[in-house]
Amino acid sequence: MFNQLRKKWGVNGWQFILIFTTFAFGGSLCAKAGSAILSTLLTDKNWLYWILYVPLITLLWPACVLLISIPLGQFKFFINYLKRIWQRMSGK
């Protein structure tokens, strides 16, 4: 499965590790940031917190992944990846 992804993305083994690391750190940063933002706005984690949390992290995720991709040297890959996702979501 990993070899298929690596070939599909056209990257070598080291880049593949950096890409997966970026996904992991970006997702973690997104979850922490979303939780911190909502914790400042809401006092407890009730139903409203969880209803707002999912759309918030969905919107934060691209920015977090791009931010993490810069020091790991994978910005070009992720900007193209996000463009492809946006094109598929928008129907273009």
| pLDDT for residue 44 | 85
pLDDT tens sequence across 27-60: 999 999 999 999 999 888 889 999 999 999 999 9
| pLDDT for residue 19 | 95
Per-residue tokens: 1: 């499965």
pLDDT tens sequence across 70-91: 999 999 999 999 999 988 888 7
Per-residue tokens: 24: 């992991």
Asked whether the beta carbons of 62 and 82 are under 8 A apart, the reply is yes
Per-residue tokens: 59: 């919107």
**CA separation for the pair 35, 45 (Å, rounded):** 10
Q: What is the mean pLDDT of residues 17-27?
A: 96
Asked whether the beta carbons of 22 and 65 are under 8 A apart, the reply is yes
| pLDDT for residue 20 | 94
Query: Which DSSP category does 42 fall into?
Result: -
